[in-house]
Amino acid sequence: MSTTFDLIVIGGGPGGYVAAIRASQLGMNVALVEREALGGVCLNWGCIPTKTLLKSAQVFETVKKAGDYGVNVNLPTADLPKMVSRSRSVVKEMNAGIQYLIKKNKIHFIAGTGKIVGQGNVSVTNADGEEIVYQAPHVILATGAKPKELRNIPFDGRSIISSSEAMMLSRIPVSITIVGAGAIGVEFAYFFNALGSDVRLVEYASRILPLEDQEISQKLKKSFEKKGIAIDTDCNVVSAIPKSDKVEIQANIQNKKTVFSSEIVLVAAGIETNTSGIGLEDNGVEVDRGKIVVDQYYRTTLEGVYAIGDIVSGPALAHVASAEAVLCVEKIAGLPCSPINYDNIPSCIYSSPEIASVGMTEQAAKQAGINVKKGSYPFSASGKAKAMGDFEGGVSVLYDEDTREIIGAHMIGPNVTELISEIVVARELESTPREIVRSVHPHPTMSEAIVESLLDLEKASIHA
């Protein structure tokens, strides 16, 4: 294999492999360096396997309620090993698909750990410790992130675990405490609760999903507590000490010292960037609070070196990394480009109920002095939701009465992770509520909720 390329990408996740494919499409000779499995955390230990497990939990819940739909079945049981096996099978298939795309696009795959060793030079060390230096005028860093470990709750891989171990458990835990009520925490809270575990969800902030709209957080809290999930906010976990068959947890909950225990503690307190050991400091690549400093086209402070995905500022989401990858490569290729609008990035959480949002929250809009108007529609009024037997939640849309723009949307309920895209596209095209309303939506569908919420801005909703 040649050691000289037009572009070298370090990291094979949804940022890295997408960058490599797009660069190859544009005629570049590309090398992709990855030390583990293609697809990164998202495909192997994040987005894909978790959603596969969540689907299993949803099927289990649906079967338990089959009698409500006129279907008589015996009492089902949850087989966690089979669920895990299915999730790993899906991962394997998806991984093979990416390998096929790498070959199809004639990308040179290099297995090993890559790092910058000077401008235009990348050192790759393979599993045998052998080191080879490759050259390219352009290098993209896409090394991603890993689960964050808390100093006072260190992982032991058995009773104190990260999300990676949580996806590989051999049996359903009797009880589990989940530290952190962001997207990862609430997804696992739903999953283990659905399978029958006694779940306790604790959050340092004053509410679960602290980055989401307050109304959404309140609705999810109410839904979770109805399912039997215990929730503690304003909770600072001081320590977690493994005992013989449980973990003893000491915490300050709303300034009150509390001691409780669980069989397993899952730490879901965010992520930590993979920026160490890739040659940043030695080559003048600026880093600020764990994130590589880049401009709007992902150029770092070292000429010819770029960074995308979780290692730069912005939402740590797979679809963001992929969008950054395409923009970065097209800018390198000299194509006309516009920076990504980070105010229009959708966020999706795949618990049950699902949650999706884009744009400003109502609280942020009011604090910014925006003359905000809110239109809402409950799924309890939706014919399709009623027919599905799943009508929890609804849609809310925020509108700036001065600029006549849709400034945000917040949804909770069935299929909202699919519905949010309509608002994302509408905002990108600067569509008005009237234009969306006049676009005839099919009946009966969940998408009618968007029309009804926009009609509600003028108090003209037909079905609510």
Residue pLDDT tens, the chain, 464 long: 689 999 999 999 999 999 999 999 999 999 999 999 999 999 999 999 999 999 999 999 999 999 999 999 999 999 999 999 999 999 999 999 999 999 999 999 999 999 999 999 999 999 999 999 999 999 999 999 999 999 999 999 999 999 999 999 999 999 999 999 999 999 999 999 999 999 999 999 999 999 999 999 999 999 999 999 999 999 999 999 999 899 999 999 999 999 999 999 999 999 999 999 999 999 999 999 999 999 999 999 999 999 999 999 999 999 999 999 999 999 999 999 999 999 999 999 999 999 999 999 999 999 999 999 999 999 999 999 999 999 999 999 999 999 999 999 999 999 999 999 999 999 999 999 999 999 999 999 999 999 999 999 999 999 98
Instruction: Check if 108 is active-site.
Output: no
Distance CA 73, CA 1 (A): 59
Distance CA 137, CA 186 (A): 43
Count CB atoms within 10 A of the CB of residue 317. 19
φ/ψ of residue 367, rounded to 5: -65, -30
Q: In Å, how far are 324, 331, 339 from 296, measured between CA atoms? A: 10, 10, 6
Using DSSP's 3-state secondary structure scheme, residue 260 falls into strand
Residue 124 Ramachandran class (φ > 0 left, ψ -120 to 50 alpha, else beta): beta
Token pair, residue 456, equals 């509600």
φ/ψ of residue 372, rounded to 5: -90, 140
Global pTM reads 0.96
CB 22 within 8 A of CB 325: yes
Token pair, residue 36, equals 């583990």
Cα-to-chain-centroid distance, residue 340: 18
Distance CA 191, CA 423 (A): 28
Q: Which of 108, 138, 441, 443 is catalytic?
A: 443
Distance CA 450, CA 427 (A): 13
DSSP assigned state of 149:
P
User: For residue 272, what pLDDT is reported?
Assistant: 95
Token pair, residue 44, equals 């192997």
User: For residue 216, what pLDDT is reported?
Assistant: 97
Using DSSP's 3-state secondary structure scheme, residue 265 falls into strand
Distance CA 240, CA 200 (A): 14
CA angle 155, 159, 162 (to 5 degrees): 45
Is the backbone peptide bond immediately before 353 cis, with ω within 30 degrees of 0?
A: yes
Distance CA 390, CA 194 (A): 16
Residue 343: how many CA atoms within 13 Å on its side-chain side?
9
User: For residue 381, what pLDDT is reported?
Assistant: 97
Give start and end residues of each alpha helix (H) in 122-258: 163-166, 183-195, 214-227
The set of residues, in sequence order, having a beta carbon less than 8 Å from that of 180 and lying 6+ positions away, is 202, 203, 204, 267, 268, 269, 270
User: For residue 159, what pLDDT is reported?
Assistant: 96
Distance CA 412, CA 395 (A): 7
φ/ψ of residue 10, rounded to 5: -105, 110
Token pair, residue 239, equals 């320590």
User: For residue 1, what pLDDT is reported?
Assistant: 67
Q: Domains in the chain, ordered, with CATH? A: 7-146+272-332 (3.50.50.60), 160-269 (3.50.50.60), 353-456 (3.30.390.30)
Distance CA 444, CA 385 (A): 9
CB 109 within 8 A of CB 36: no
CA angle 221, 223, 225 (to 5 degrees): 65
Closest CA to 15 of 326, 304, 302: 326
The set of residues, in sequence order, having a beta carbon less than 8 Å from that of 19 and lying 6+ positions away, is 7, 9, 140, 142, 308, 325, 326, 328, 329
Give the β-pairing of 198-202 and 175-179.
parallel
